[in-house]
Amino acid sequence: MDFAFSDEHRALRGMVRDFAESQIAPHAEAWDRDHHFPTDVVQAMGELGLFGITADEQWGGAGADFISLCIAIEELARIDQSMAITLEAGVGLGINPIHEFGTDDQKERWLPDLVAGRTLAGFGLTEPGAGSDAGATATRAELDGDEWVINGSKAFITNSGSEITSLVTITAKTGDNEISTIIVPSGTPGFIVEPPYRKMGWHASDTHGLVFEDCRVPKENLLGERGRGFHQFLATLDDGRIAIAAMAVGVLQACLDESVAYAKERESMGKPIGSYQAVAFKCADMQTMTEAARLLTYRAAWLKDQGKPFKQEAAMAKLYATEAAVTATREATQVFGGYGFVDETLVSRHYRDAKILEIGEGTSEVQRLVLSRGLGLPIS
């Protein structure tokens, strides 16, 4: 078994790391404090080719493998989870549904700008009363002549209200026991973007609730086959679980790096705190969790790239990596002591940001449900 990255993968990691450390790290704390979404930096990520990593060259992408996307997300997440989720959602939830299920006309209209990072797209799945039970979608879309008339609401939608958001793809009931996916361009009458949420973390990420009041879009905005929306978003979430796991790996690596460096320089009772087992063992545990999470994540990504089944592996990677990241941020904050409680420190920001990793793209409980069913257990 060969666990080595290719030369191309290593070059990509170096490029994204340099960008994150030079263009994001100096400003991330201020963006977090001010709840500022840095449009210019997001578009610079597009110019770097990050949004087009996995897209076909026909649409301006690089046509690279899924491992490449995970590497980019991991490196961004080391520095700032808000920018990492902007990329993850921009690709996995914005570009990929159109790339995978769209018509040629839809691809020609939307993909070039999305792939280049000139615009962003969101994916409206979660609703106030339909989170883990996504099949309980209450938003409705009725065909009236040549238009879909949409009524309903969505919650916690990333990349949905920025000044460069061009569309949101939503799920809606288009009939009894029928869920379909529809593209809704920004600015469409009846498409209301609510004020941004006041969140515990991810302060520099763009997140809104959405309301649709007799919102009309052309019937050609149906994405893929009518009634296949449930299948489409399940496939989208399987990919997203690997990508969120990659974010968690970046967080784990950051906690390890920050804790080791601090444990070497901070002294207590005349010795570096890293000389005490209470601190050193925390760092040892972080290293173990980081490597285990990375192996699970990139194995799942490799299976996807090979065209092999990966649903169970994606669930395992997402479950373990995100829960490990939450543990590591807590332990890293403990290593830093009082300084870890100060917002200016990276570990403090990661502590606040990490919790959502256990919730978004399928909660930990959902991952355990997926895994239990995969084992053939009669769980409901």
Distances (CA, A) of 319 to 14, 159, 212, 337, 369: 27, 24, 33, 28, 11
Residues 6+ apart with CB under 8 A from 159: 86, 89, 90, 93, 94, 120, 121, 122, 165, 206
Nearest to 22 by CA among 1, 50, 44, 46: 44
Tokens 């420190």 belong to residue: 345
Query: What are the structure tokens assigned to 353, written together?
Result: 């940001």
Catalytic residue among 8, 47, 361, 365: 361
H/E stretch holding 208: strand 207-218
Active site residue 361: yes
Count of helix runs (H) and strand runs (E) in the chain: 12, 10
Nearest to 327 by CA among 351, 291, 346: 351
The residues assigned a catalytic role are 361
